[in-house]
Structure 1
Amino acid sequence: MTQDNATAPLDSVNQALAESYAELSPQLKLAARYVLDHPMEIAFQSIRKSAAAAGVTSSTLMRLAKRLGFDSYEQFREIFQSAVQAGPIELAGRASSLKALAGSDDQVFVDVGDTAFDNIGRLFTADMQPKVRDAAERLLAAGKVAVVGFRDAFACAYHFAYVGRIAMPNVQLIRGQEGGLLTELATFGEGDVVVAFGFDPYCAETVRALEVTRANGVEAIVVTDTLRSPLVPGAAVTFNIATATPHFFPSILSAITLVEAILAECVAYGPEALVDNVTRFESRMRELGAYVDLE
């Protein structure tokens, strides 16, 4: 294995796993599932402990590492160690303080806060920043941008499209109402980008939208909750975000925060025209009386 491969970022390893997941044997799938869902454990547990937790043998984990091009399991594990040692921004202390202030009767409230802080902390890691920049560059270079997300993910798609369109008028929210999904997507092709949001349980419409746009040569930026997601194959950029919550539906907090980070990156590093677009939008809204000012 070359030195360049040995120091490949964790995202490249995860993407390779996600792309090959469907073709793996049942035992290798178990191993891959554990690797994708437990990067911290892979980084610091022994191979025996990780294998036991995954429900496979140590040799299965070694086979998985070699399938990905590593000479040894240690080389494979070093990729995870390098990534997680950068660590998330320290927010755990805030959650601990919240827990200390609350009584036992407020446990649900405390648990929601605890997981929210953890989700955001997992988002702002050293390996995430270059991916955000990559996504922003692709969006800035795109002719048109389609934004897709249905059911629980619609709020994420709507927020991206609404805020994004203020600076970049080429952003279009795909609603897919009354059977119009294919019609709305028909105008997108090579040189365009689709941004797709989807979390377990995954919507068939979102998967279909990605299939259609991929066939037309549209690049995909995917925001999902695991690299085993059916939205991942073929994506140019994949954001695997935390959606944990005591609530009965996946949390979209990290997704909304990621949207803000990507769009901020677009405005910060894009042409001056984007700032002009935001200024004109605000002026126009004020002229129309869309805002109510404080007395």
Structure 2
Amino acid sequence: MDFPVANLIKDSYERFPRQMKVAARWLVDHPTEVALLSMREQARRARVPPATFTRLAKRLGFDGFEKLKKVFADSIRGGSESRVGSEEKLLVQRDVEGDGALTIKALHGHLSELAQPSTIATLTAAADLMVAARQILCVGLRSSFPAAHLMYYVGSLLGSPTILIDGAGGTANDTLRSIGPLDILLAVTVCPYSRYTMQVAEFAVSRGAKLVALTDGELSPIAKLSEIVISVRTETPSFFHTMTPAFAAVECLLELIAARRGSCALQVLEANEAHLAEFDTYVLRAPRASRKF
């Protein structure tokens, strides 16, 4: 969300102490919850002491957290009454339906944000860069690995020059040997952020490659290195985060790339299908949907 206080937090973020950074990220990433929830509940969810929010508010020039909360509430109401109403319902339903149902509703909300015009424009710009690239290197560790692998695997099926920075046999860094200004690095990382992914990103940028970051917000440490930042939400009511929006973002990227590659993508897909058929790879053959690129 962009309004004066959020921009002030972003501008000052690097100067905050560690716990205050956690609280600041909560404010920027959850503006509706800031407007609706008590300070103690927000502190519980952000996993910092409530006093941290009070100190942050004063650091930003407010008398206390309630004054800061009012600014968020006014901005939310000015931007979207309907969203406030839906978020209020979501918070009430936690007690009625339990966290399982609320997780599904949270995912629905996260995915709907990918349909916003600003996100679509970002995905389109990233796809344009990737189609023009000499090679697309993909990196992501731990829970971020499947999204990076999906980009590599399906991208290769479409004939895109995708390379996975994997590390089998300790060879991960070998794939970076040829990276340069004509290349793209897609880096997937979310809080608490992979140190190795950051190192790869810094190296790629130092070689002139363009960085597309798939991460959990503009305050992610990888964002400041990036040509394009694709922001996805990861929080759930559970004890683990979700990578579902990251998967959806990659699938959108792949669809955009396929559309841009047009008949070339279809030819490569047909060749791949023929190759898999030679090895009798699948038990059942899925019906092919007709596609127009």
Structures share fold, TM-score greater than 0.5: yes
Q: How big is each residue's C-alpha offset from its partner over 1:136-161, in whole Å with a ceiling of 9 and x where there is no partner?
A: 00000000000000011111111111
Match in the other structure for 1:36? 28
Matched residue, 1:229: 220
Shift in alpha-carbon separation, 1:187–1:14, aligned structure 2, 3 A: farther
**Cα deviation, residue 21, structure 1:** 3.8
Does residue 139 of the first structure (1) align with residue 140 of the second (2)? no
1:280 aligns with 2:281: no
CA separation of 1:276/1:113 partners in 2, compared to 1, >3 Å: closer, same or farther? same
| TM-score between the two structures when normalised by the length of structure 2 | 0.71
Counterpart for residue 190 of structure 1: 181
CA deviation after TM superposition for structure 1 residue 14, in Å:
8.3
Equivalent residue, structure 1, for 2:243? 252
Contact 1:148–1:175 under 8 Å retained in 2: yes
What RMSD over aligned residues (CA atoms) do the two structures have, in Å?
4.2
| Conserved 8 A contact 2:114-2:120 | no
Q: 1:219 aligns with which of 210, 214, 217?
A: 210
| CA distance in structure 2 between the partners assigned to 1:164 and 1:86 by the alignment | 40
| Unaligned segments of structure 1, at least 5 residues | 1-8, 45-51, 62-76
Indicate the structure whose relative CO is greater, using CA pairs within 8 Å and at least 6 residues apart: 1
**1:177 positional shift:** 3.8
SS of residue in 1 equivalent to 2:110: helix
* Cα offset, 1:216, TM superposition: 0.8
Q: Is the 8 A contact 1:153 1:198 kept in 2?
A: yes
Aligned equivalents of 2:82, 2:127: Cα separation in 1: 23
Tell me the CA shift for residue 30 of structure 1: 8.6
| Contact 1:181/1:209 (8 A) holds in 2 | no
Quick one: distance in 2 between partners of 1:290 and 1:253? 27
TM-score w.r.t. the length of structure 1 is: 0.71
1:118-137 per-residue CA deviation (whole Å, 9 max, x = no partner) reads: 21122221211111110000
CA 1:157 to 1:16, structure 2 compared with 1: closer, same or farther past 3 Å? farther
SS, match of residue 147 in structure 1:
strand
Q: Distance in 2 between matches of 1:169 and 1:125?
A: 27
After TM superposition, list the pairs within 5 Å mapping 1:63-82 onto structure 2: none
Match of 1:64 in 2: none
Q: Which of 127, 152, 155 in structure 2 is aligned with 1:161?
A: 152
SS, match of residue 172 in structure 1: strand
> Share of identical aligned residues, percent?
23
Q: Give 1:199's aligned residue.
A: 190
Structure 2 segments unaligned to the other structure (5+ residues): 37-52, 63-71, 287-293
In 2, are the aligned partners of 1:145 and 1:170 still within 8 Å (CA)? yes
| Counterpart contact for 1:147–1:174, Cα < 8 Å | yes
Q: Distance in 2 between matches of 1:215 and 1:146?
A: 15
